[in-house]
């Protein structure tokens, strides 16, 4: 059952008057390589030879993926922190016409852990990996990037989020 239906009573108080929910997806943070900035540059040393950061980064993205690009204080970093708490952390991503929210939804309550204007969301892509079929990558207007897992074996929730983000 979709979170919009399962948690409709818990989501309703989180929405502003007249705000419409576009999508609610159960997600989690799947830890991978985290970077404070994109990798650039070329180095050479006699022992290790040529090292091209962009090539290495591309290989890493193909195999396991980079889960976060963003310095502390960036939007991606802040959203990652919202999903990082074991007790009281977010477990759903809510998208409305005006906001992106990380929310903790349980059978008793709903609580916004993190939120931003939807305009800060530069894009959402479905980028699956092995055992991460529902992996979605969110890009933000500040240049930060965060990957979240919306399903290990199935990609339906990830596709719904991408479609809702337009």
pLDDT tens digit string along 11-69?
A: 999 999 999 999 999 999 987 777 776 656 666 666 666 666 666 666 666 666 788 99
Residue 111 to residue 152: CA distance in whole angstroms: 25
Q: Which residues pair with 66 in a beta bridge?
A: 33
pTM: 0.82
Closest CA to 81 of 33, 135, 29, 150: 29
Domains and CATH numbers, the chain: 3-165 (2.30.29)
CA 129 vs CA 64, 78, 92, 126, 148: distances in Å = 7, 24, 21, 10, 12
To 10 degrees, the CA torsion angle through 79, 117, 1, 104? Answer: 50
């Amino acid at each position: 059952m979709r979170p919009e239906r399962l948690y409709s009573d818990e989501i309703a108080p989180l929405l502003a008057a007249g705000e419409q929910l576009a999508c609610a997806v159960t997600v989690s943070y799947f830890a991978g390589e985290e970077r404070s900035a994109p990798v650039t540059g070329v180095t050479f040393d006699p022992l290790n030879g040529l090292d091209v950061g962009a090539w290495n980064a591309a290989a890493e993205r193909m195999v396991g993926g980079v889960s976060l690009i963003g310095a502390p204080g960036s939007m991606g970093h802040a959203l990652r922190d919202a999903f990082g708490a074991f007790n009281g952390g977010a477990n759903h991503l809510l998208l409305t016409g005006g906001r992106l929210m990380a929310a903790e939804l349980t059978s008793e309550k709903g609580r916004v852990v993190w939120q931003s204007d939807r305009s800060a969301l530069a894009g959402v892509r479905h980028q699956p990996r092995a055992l991460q079929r529902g992996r979605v990558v969110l890009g933000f207007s500040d240049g930060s990037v965060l990957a979240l897992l919306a399903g290990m074996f199935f990609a339906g929730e990830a596709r719904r989020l991408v479609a809702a983000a337009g």
